[in-house]
Chains A and B, each alone.
Chain A
Amino acid sequence: SSELTQDPAVSVALGQTVRITCQGDSLRNYYASWYQQKPGQAPVVVVYGKNNRPSGIPDRFSGSSSGNTASLTISGAQAEDEADYYCNSRDISGSWVFGGGTKLTVL
């Protein structure tokens, strides 16, 4: 099965822009979706498809993709954005796969 690779940890100064990336062969055929998870809570989808946000997700969250890499960008990071972020896509075998997760620290 495919794998999705994420940096384990990223930090950003309050109000600055941060990009979290996800690499994997499956991303050449499927869009990534991105999930925010705070301690003790279930994940929440923040971006999916080419660059779609569910209702209620702030527009500072955006997504992009190129080749085998998908990116989640947070423009003007807020303290409440500190969380773990996971990418996911379907893979060529028909199953699904998550990235290892990125811990975002807002300084």
Chain B
Amino acid sequence: EVQLVQSGGGFVQPGGSLRLSCAASGFTFSHYDMHWVRQGAGKGLEWVSAVETAGGTYYQASVQGRFTISRDTDKTSLYLQMNSLRPGDTAVYYCAVGVPASPKYYFVYWGQGTLVTVSS
């Protein structure tokens, strides 16, 4: 059974930092890309960041330079270090598993989501 267990969300003041984690099991972690996707309250899905199987990383423009994505193959875990947080970063953050089968790429598994609230 595939499991993506997320942790690390919470409440933080503007300018603060948080680290999200996503512990994966039930599939061959090293064979898949890993992503973070967020969703503000009442809003749509917004892609945030990705780390490919070979280690290449990608970021949405609004988080570039503030967020860092990483993966640990030995621990089969995904991380998102979020610095200089802004109120606009408030959202439920999902980790998602990407199938690298270009051009028919898709997200096959999703975590349960973790809420990040940035407010003074």
Contacts and interface: CB of A to CB of B under 8 A. Distances in A.
B75 interface: no
A42 B110 contact: yes
Contacts, number: 72
Interface string B87-98: 000000010001
A15 interface: no
Contacts of A23: none
A44 B45 contact: no
A92 to B, nearest CB: 12
Contacts of A89: 105
User: Interface residue tally of chain B, by bracket?
Assistant: 20 to 34
A45 B104 CA distance: 12
B44 A100 contact: yes
A95 B58 contact: yes
B106 A45 contact: yes
Interface string B64-82: 0000000000000000000
A1 interface: yes
A58 to B, nearest CB: 17
Contact of B45 (A1, A31, A98): A98
A46 to B, nearest CB: 10
Interface of B: 35, 37, 44-47, 50, 58-61, 94, 98-99, 101-108, 110-113
